[in-house]
Amino acid sequence: MLRAVIVLLISLLAGVYLAGRRASPRPRPDLRYVNSSDVHTLDPARMSWTQDLRLALNLWETLCACDPRTLKPASAAAEFPPEVSADGLTWTFRLRDDGRWSDGTPVTAADFVRGWRRLIEPGTAADYAFFVTDYVEGAAEYVSWRGEGVGVLTALSRLAEGWSIDDGQALVLATAECAEIVRRAYAEATGNVAEPEAFSGSRMARAALPWGELHRRVFEAHAAELEAGFAKVGLEAADDRTLIVRFRKPCPFFADLAAFPVLAPMHPSVDEHRERWRGAPLTREGLVAYDSRWTRPVTAPDGAARPVTNGPYRLVEWRFKRSVRLEVNPHHRDASRIGCRSVEAVVFADANSALLAYEAGDVDFIPTVEVSYDHAIFRLAESGARPDFKLTPLAATYFFNFNCADVEVDGRPNPFVDPRVRRAFSLALDREAIARRVLQRGDRPAATFIPPETLPGYDTPEGMPFDPEAGRRLLGEAGHPQGRGLPVIDVLFNTSGAHPVVGQAIARQWETHLGVRVELRGKESKAFAEDKARRRFMISQANWYADYNDPTTFLDVLAAGNGNNDSGYASAAFDALLARAATADGPEARMRLLREAEATAVMRDAAILPVFHYTSVIAVRGEVEGLHPNSRLWFPFSGVTVAR
């Protein structure tokens, strides 16, 4: 019997040994910093998370750089400033001669076209595709043409495999230009003229058509037109060193955009990973798709290290949900001058553990300290007791969306379609109390959407005051004196987001000042996103971080039909002001129009309810020099030196 126990113990021990043998730690990097959450992707075109972008910023070099001290654009892969035509619509970027990929080959203008094209391709599903599609001439048309083709090919490939399609897909077949042959075949087979209303998913699935053949013919036609279609986009590699970008509307802040890592160039080697179908570089559905593992650090059969990047660092190791390790790109022009030779980003799922690791000296840098006791951290930073905790006002706003569009929410009348009610709620919020007394971590009370003094040249409008008396009066005018006749106000928030206390504090204020009943509805991220997308809320929590140094990074969110406009706010006056600003004469007139637009949306219409502008604490150990705190948490590591 004892033998059995001994055997068991030995087998357990062997298990421990075998499982433990695999760990082989590398030497400590010069700089080790905390990623508050996992790295989602290292494909720059698909990025949307701060922690991913921070890595991309150091792995890839874009046309312009953003100086971490001033946040002004500077020279990077291209000379600065670029050559801008008199009408502001044509920008010519001259690439520097000494730009090199990590395999030693020179960076060319065609590499940028390749990278930007990947960004806008429907298959990439990039969050930041609008950087190109909104401004570059012909890009939006190319994307919609591609989207139509993809829609048709998806429907046809599904039909060819004997599956049904939904009515939305059938409608694409009924209307898309490239589906002409499908309509003709359908009309012949069913014997009637194929009007759009004759198309429905189930009816099409029943029609005995040679779907496979139709799919192949549409696919071949679409693939053949691919290059000609893209040629209409205003992106042109005139020669190896010259990139010409033509805009459809002036984009005075494009140098800022061009510093954003999603606009990185792509080395030709990524095309090795492109999926092909029937010889064309597209999938069956017409998507441009890559074997997504191309971002993983490997040594290719020819001995070259992949992925090939052109930034100051190259990717050496990526361990899932654990760490990403960068080392200096030996071919980069500054390679010999870079003080910080290796960087490691470690994932800490728990912010408290991350701070403890920092205290224990295991990590050197936390880009944002986000712990539930951050008021204590704030106090240490503010009093100067801990000079390594640096207080940084961010260009980011915590706000709530009012549901401006739906008359009914979940069967209950939605009072917020009335702008007076929205204004009343906005007026009855004491932002000062929330920022200074509830959160106590240095956030600035937000009377406006755009954080004041973070965007150069923009003069923030006055903003929404705290005036509960006026709020009550407005509510009375709207037919709800003392909150009478209002349903229970439903506030949707994300339980995984920080600070549910804010919601509780706000609810309490409205109950006191307006006499309404408020109910908080916390949902985990996915359910929250779904409810928000279907606009199943009266008020929902949100935040927005500036992507570039221009007011439009905030204001575009409120434009009618914008993909991020969760409030459903649609105001002709506001949209007209944005349009006028886009073509305004000179930066001052433009900023004035934008200011007016913000005042319209936030003050007059109260589409959103700004609460506070974030202030963040950055923890940097004393040995680390050259990490400049800035309002966009923009941290290039190439200027960093570590005294150790």
Which window, 58-66, 202-210, 365-373, 474-482, contacts another protein (CB under 8 A)?
Answer: 365-373
Question: Residues 88, 106, 147, 413: which binds another protein (CB under 8 A)?
Answer: 147
Give the bridge partners for 401, in sequence order. 540, 608
Q: How far is the CB of 371 from another protein (least distance, A)?
A: 6
User: Which CB sits closer to another protein, 71 or 557?
Assistant: 557
Question: Residues 30, 44, 46, 235: which binds another protein (CB under 8 A)?
Answer: 46
Give the bridge partners for 290, in sequence order. 274
452 lies in the site for another protein, by CB under 8 A: no
Q: Tell me which residues in 460-479 interact with another protein (CB under 8 A).
A: none
Query: What tokens appear for 73 in the block?
Result: 């654009």
Q: Tell me which residues in 58-87 interact with another protein (CB under 8 A).
A: none
d(CA 546, CA 66): 14
Q: How far is the CB of 504 from another protein (least distance, A)?
A: 5
**Which residue pairs from 515-519 have beta carbons closer than 8 angstroms and sit at least 24 positions apart in sequence?**
515/482, 515/483, 516/483, 516/486, 516/489, 517/483, 517/486, 517/488, 517/489, 518/488, 518/489, 518/491, 519/488, 519/489, 519/490, 519/491
506 lies in the site for another protein, by CB under 8 A: no
User: Which CB sits closer to another protein, 74 or 527?
Assistant: 527
d(CA 396, CA 452): 10
The answer to whether the CB of 608 falls within 8 A of the CB of 601 is yes
Pairing of strands 489-494, 539-545: parallel
User: Which CB sits closer to another protein, 88 or 522?
Assistant: 522
Q: Which helix (H) or strand (E) holds 625?
A: strand 624-625
Amino acid, single-letter form, for residue 596: E
The answer to whether the CB of 99 falls within 8 A of the CB of 310 is yes
User: Which CB sits closer to another protein, 307 or 393?
Assistant: 307
Q: Tell me which residues in 605-644 interact with another protein (CB under 8 A).
A: none
User: Which CB sits closer to another protein, 359 or 623?
Assistant: 359
Query: What tokens appear for 52 in the block?
Result: 């991913």
Question: Residues 203, 276, 278, 412: which binds another protein (CB under 8 A)?
Answer: 412
Question: Residues 348, 425, 466, 574: which binds another protein (CB under 8 A)?
Answer: 348
Q: How far is the CB of 635 from another protein (least distance, A)?
A: 20
Question: Residues 192, 372, 482, 583: which binds another protein (CB under 8 A)?
Answer: 372
Provide the residue count of the chain: 644
Contact characters 556-575, another protein, x per CB under 8 A? -------xx-----------
d(CA 83, CA 422): 46
Query: What tokens appear for 171 in the block?
Result: 């409608």
Residue reference for tokens 């109950």: 511
d(CA 222, CA 219): 5
What three-state secondary structure class fits 377? helix
Q: Which helix (H) or strand (E) holds 575?
A: helix 572-582
287 lies in the site for another protein, by CB under 8 A: yes
Q: Tell me which residues in 185-244 interact with another protein (CB under 8 A).
A: none
For residue 393, give Cα distances in angstroms to 289, 390, 574, 618. 39, 10, 28, 10
Which window, 61-69, 334-342, 419-427, 513-521, contacts another protein (CB under 8 A)?
Answer: 513-521
12 lies in the site for another protein, by CB under 8 A: yes
Question: Residues 184, 203, 319, 644: which binds another protein (CB under 8 A)?
Answer: 319
Question: Residues 77, 132, 185, 371: which binds another protein (CB under 8 A)?
Answer: 371
Question: Residues 335, 405, 417, 433: which binds another protein (CB under 8 A)?
Answer: 433
User: Which CB sits closer to another protein, 297 or 452?
Assistant: 297
Q: Tell me which residues in 479-498 interact with another protein (CB under 8 A).
A: 488, 490, 495-496
Q: What angle is formed at CA 319 by the lines to CA 316 and CA 323, rounded to 5 degrees? A: 80
Question: Residues 195, 334, 359, 459: which binds another protein (CB under 8 A)?
Answer: 359
Amino acid, single-letter form, for residue 110: A
The answer to whether the CB of 566 falls within 8 A of the CB of 279 is no
Q: How far is the CB of 520 from another protein (least distance, A)?
A: 6
Q: How far is the CB of 52 from another protein (least distance, A)?
A: 10
Query: What tokens appear for 601 in the block?
Result: 């949306």
Q: How many residues line the site for another protein (CB under 8 A)?
A: 109
Q: How far is the CB of 608 from another protein (least distance, A)?
A: 15
Q: How far is the CB of 462 from another protein (least distance, A)?
A: 26
Buried-exposed string 26-38: b where 16+ CB fall within 10 A, e elsewhere: eeebbbbbbbbee
Question: Residues 30, 61, 103, 148: which binds another protein (CB under 8 A)?
Answer: 148
User: Which CB sits closer to another protein, 32 or 423?
Assistant: 32
**Is the N-terminal amide bond of 265 cis, ω within 30° of 0?**
no
User: Which CB sits closer to another protein, 295 or 460?
Assistant: 295
d(CA 156, CA 219): 10
Which window, 19-27, 414-422, 472-480, 596-604, contacts another protein (CB under 8 A)?
Answer: 19-27
Question: Residues 29, 44, 115, 122: which binds another protein (CB under 8 A)?
Answer: 122
Query: What tokens appear for 397 in the block?
Result: 């706003």
Q: How far is the CB of 363 from another protein (least distance, A)?
A: 8
Q: How far is the CB of 28 from another protein (least distance, A)?
A: 11
The answer to whether the CB of 409 falls within 8 A of the CB of 643 is no
Q: End-to-end alpha-carbon separation of the chain, Å?
A: 57
d(CA 272, CA 157): 25
Which window, 180-188, 196-204, 503-511, 636-644, contacts another protein (CB under 8 A)?
Answer: 503-511
Pairing of strands 73-75, 323-328: unpaired
603 lies in the site for another protein, by CB under 8 A: no
Q: Tell me which residues in 524-543 interact with another protein (CB under 8 A).
A: 524-527, 529-530, 533
Residue reference for tokens 């090939």: 308
Which window, 217-225, 279-287, 569-577, 618-626, contacts another protein (CB under 8 A)?
Answer: 279-287
Question: Residues 335, 356, 417, 579: which binds another protein (CB under 8 A)?
Answer: 356
Q: Tell me which residues in 290-309 interact with another protein (CB under 8 A).
A: 292-293, 295-296
